[in-house]
Amino acid sequence: MKRVILWSLWALVPVAALAVHLGPGQKLLARDEAADILRKAEALERDGKWTDAAKLYSQARGVLVSSADVPPLETLKVRYAEARAIVWSGDLVAGQEAFQSLVAELTDESSTTIKDPSLLARARSELAATSYSIAWLMRLEQASREEWYPESEIARQQYRLLAEDAIEQNSPEAEKLKENLEAVIRFQDISEQQLAECDKPGNTKNAGKNIKQKKRDQRASRQQKQQQPKDARDDINKNSSEERHNPKGS
């Protein structure tokens, strides 16, 4: 049977490794310690040792955060590399969450961090690819449509934003992004049998099982946090403030 989805996210959404030029004396990486760690992490990434690379990226990020001389944007670039390494190590759910957090920060209008359209585009692309792969694996694990569909919608929305931006800028990437968007839409409509005849996305290579359960646990954790009672001190402070502005008997 002719395959419905003929593309691999790894092939059509190439994402370059973190482009940080390393070396002593540079302003972007003020501390040699972070530069050394990043060099080791990138070497591990090239060797396909994604879990070890993710740990080193996390370590480098900690060093950069503790340095007042490092611009926040450079820390975000390391977060991007760390999230990508997490995905390719096999933990797609944790990687997706990391990319969602990164995209949210890069699009936060109240943030003082210098905006980087290129980093945002790469983060969106990785978020889309990861979310698509999660939806794919959840379908293979017989998750209900109500469970996997929202994940594919994250992919669709991110590819739509990327495609629209590429078209507006007359980017040569526009056609490829449109194809990715159309592929996600087709994925949402194909049957389970058709899905089984398609090649898995490349970034699922190291993914373990129980993606469906991991997403369930994630949703349960978020719901629990939302249902946690507010700190009583918040109400006390609010009431005190109201009394100061509206004293009784006035």
Over its length of 250 residues, how does the chain's per-residue pLDDT go in tens digits? 444 443 334 333 333 344 344 444 444 445 688 889 999 999 999 999 999 999 999 999 998 888 767 778 889 999 999 999 999 999 999 999 999 999 999 999 887 777 899 999 999 999 999 999 999 999 999 999 999 999 999 999 999 999 999 999 999 999 999 999 999 999 999 999 999 889 889 999 899 888 999 999 998 988 888 887 665 455 545 454 454 445 544 4
Flag whether 3 is in a domain: no
Q: Which two tokens stand for residue 201?
A: 């996305």
3-state class of 248 per DSSP?
Answer: coil
Q: Range of 85's domain?
A: 9-245
What CATH number has the domain bearing residue 130?
1.25.40.10
The pTM assigned to this predicted structure is 0.80
Query: What's the rounded Cα separation, in Å, for the pair 52 and 91?
Result: 13
Flag whether 1 is in a domain: no
Closest CA to 194 of 140, 119, 146: 140
161 — phi, psi (to 5°)? -60, -45
Flag whether 27 is in a domain: yes
Flag whether 2 is in a domain: no
Flag whether 4 is in a domain: no
Flag whether 241 is in a domain: yes
Alpha helices by DSSP H, listed for the chain, are 9-12, 32-46, 50-65, 72-89, 92-106, 117-140, 145-168, 174-189, 192-196, 211-227, 232-245
Flag whether 156 is in a domain: yes
**How many domains does the chain contain in total?**
1
Flag whether 44 is in a domain: yes
